[in-house]
Amino acid sequence: MFGIYRNAEASHHERGYALAVLKTIATPEQRIAIKEDLVSGLLTTNELIASALPAVDWQGMSVEQLIAVFRTTQSEGGYGTGPMARALKEDMLPETSASTAEVLLQAVLEHYRSLNREAIRTISRFGPARTGLVIGCAARLLRALAHTIATNAHQLSGGLHGGGRTP
């Protein structure tokens, strides 16, 4: 499968299908190579980028690495139906923790801030899709933080009341 993914003569569909399989079976070395391809800009279509993100340890990517990936993407149609919007909403956001949601949100916001005015006007024409992504990241971050706070509060109260201490 990795050979099909790396074959530059293979169609984008074949390479995308190979990435879908590699999401499950790739070796750690293959995942690193795919991540390097993502960050360096070797994957040039939204379909390939969207297929590659779930195949790598994107949760371990830095803000700068994610921004590099986002800069390679092309504008998508409206209402969050493109491959990148789907990958972010369906593959990445559901798997985020508080820290990865924060990194993802920061990368999205930094990427949008770096765009020129014409690109921002284009984004505004497709506002619901782009705005939905930012809101989705922020909402996931808040849910993860609330869960973390609740878990820590429960552990703290259990340690104080259930840890053998007497009042």
For 145-156, write each residue's pLDDT tens digit. Answer: 666 667 766 666
Domain ranges for the chain, please list them.
1-56, 61-167
Q: pTM for the whole thing?
A: 0.70
Q: Name the DSSP letter for residue 10.
A: S
pLDDT tens profile 8-42: 899 989 999 999 999 999 999 999 999 999 999 99
| Alpha helices for 57-126 (secondary structure H) | 63-72, 83-86, 98-114, 117-125
Supply the angle between the helices 98-114 and 63-72 in degrees, to the nearest 10: 50
Q: If we measure between CA atoms, which residue out of 147, 166, 40, 38 comes closest to residue 101?
A: 147
In whole angstroms, give the CA distance from residue 19 to residue 5. 6
* Residues 54, 88 contacting (CB under 8 angstroms): no
What are 5's two structure tokens? Answer: 């993914």
